Amino acid sequence: MKILLTGGTGYIGSHTAIELMLSGYEVVLVDNLRNSKASVIDRIQEVSGKRPSFYELDVADYTALNTVFKQERPDAVIHFAGLKAVGESVADPLLYYQLNLNTSINLCRVMNDNNVTGLVFSSSATVYGEPERIPLDEDCDATRAANPYGRTKIMVEQILRDLCNAKPAFNVALLRYFNPAGAHPSARLGEDPTGVPNNLVPFLTQVAVGMRNELVVNGDDYPTEDGTCIRDYIHVQDLARGHVAAIRKLEKNCGLVTYNLGTGKGHSVKEVVAAFERATNQHLPKTIGPRREGDVPTTYTDPSLAERELEWKAELTIEDICRDAWQWQDANPTGYP
Ligand code: UD1
């Protein structure tokens, strides 16, 4: 079986490529390298012992993508490619709608024209917006995202539902990730954000390595035990295994399926900082700042549907996340070469 990964040199794509190859799949990566570097491919080879094929192209370019499909004849696709910065999506919504929707629609056209009917889509827990109930299960209202980035995820999910209704040969898994974090335990792959990190864990590792002066905790007056927001942090290695499980699910002709991928456990910002300080054995400079617009106090998943139907479960803890994220940043202070 050959799996094509769009956004294959990105953070989650690269970790998933390794897990797929270690599970016996052939892997083809496509990426325009807008938010990732080609040296990732050397690292994938180093860790897995195999070099995936790689094509530098825009998923929105029908001719280029179609040529790769004709040449490689993939059996299924995992669609990671897309923009994902919430703040940027508020400032430039047209960019987000154009890019995230065009790439997805074009990919589906190319798949359809080449009779490739298995697709795993990188969705996000962001589709739930302000949670209807906690823990979040897949039946919760998934149309409440509070920003353009999140609304592109809602729209692509809807496009894929409509496609499955029109063309029953398609098998599609919508994976709604909670908060991906951590790095490969080899410290050869990890998260390499461009500019100031938006997310908590990469910000922490950059403070610890001396790239940033201090962590600003975004508000400690939320209705939670210690006043800081609670999230469900999932190790990128668990997430990568979740994609392998989803590919296996497609092989059983599942139609359209939707799974939350998270641990089912919530950790507050203060708990994550404490776990990180234990893992790195250092005290981090931090201050309490104002709330960040759009943050909800608490969100975590009910992971039982994925456990039952994918036979997959997150195994790594917040300690593992902090240790691996730190080892990656410490060994690669400026990210990939
Ligand atoms: C964010 C995105 C979400 C995306 C997810 C994973 C928002 C509103 N949501 O989720 O759409 O799917 O990342 O990429 O941006 N924090 C600090 N100081 C910092 C950074 C973060 O206190 O310097 C806090 C945040 O306020 C939040 C928690 O840490 O309470 C987690 O933040 P983050 O890692 O950005 O994840 P989310 O906001 O949950």
Q: 220 CA to middle of ligand 1, Å?
A: 14
pLDDT of the residue at 128:
97
Residue type (1 letter), 78: I
Q: Enumerate the β-bridge partners of residue 177.
A: 124, 261
Ligand 1 pocket mutation pick from 88, 198, 267 by most atoms within 8 angstroms of CB: 198
Give the start-to-end residue ranges of the domains of the chain: 2-181+234-263+300-314
Probe residue for ligand 1, chosen from 200, 226, 263, 300 as the CB with the greatest number of ligand atoms within 8 Å? 200
Using the mean position of ligand 1's atoms as its centre, give its distance from the Cα of residue 295 in Å.
7
Q: What percent of the chain has pLDDT over 90?
A: 99
Distance from the alpha carbon of residue 199 to the mean position of ligand 1, in angstroms: 5
Please choose, from the candidates 127, 137, 130, the residue with its C-alpha nearest in 3D space to the C-alpha of residue 161.
Answer: 127
- Ligand 1 mutation target, pool 12, 84, 218, most atoms within 8 A of CB: 218
> What is the CATH number that goes with domain 2-181+234-263+300-314?
3.40.50.720
**How far is it, in rounded angstroms, from Cα 61 to Cα 117?**
19
Tell how many helices (H) and how many strands (E) occur in the chain: 12, 13
Residue nearest atom 2 of ligand 1, based on CA coordinates? 86
Residue ranges lining ligand 1, Cβ < 6 Å: 84, 86, 124, 126, 150, 179, 198-200, 203, 215-218, 229, 231, 269, 292, 294-295
Give me ligand 1 centre to Cα 222, in Å.
14
Q: Which residue has the tokens 């400079």?
A: 285
Q: Is 282 exposed, middle or buried (0-12, 13-18, 19+ CB in 10 A)?
A: exposed
In sequence order, what are the beta bridge partners of 288?
217
Query: What residues in the chain have per-residue pLDDT under 70?
Result: none
Hey, what are 215's tokens? 């962590």
pTM of the model: 0.98
Q: Which residues of 123-139 are buried (b: 16+ CB within 10 A; e: fewer)?
A: bbbbbbbebeebbbebe
* Distances, alpha carbon 203 to alpha carbons 140, 192, 199, 208, 280, in Å: 30, 11, 6, 9, 14
* pLDDT at position 294: 87
- Closest ligand 1 atom to Cα of 87: 15
For this structure, is 55 an active site residue? no
Per residue in 26-59, pLDDT tens?
999 999 999 999 999 999 999 999 999 999 999 9
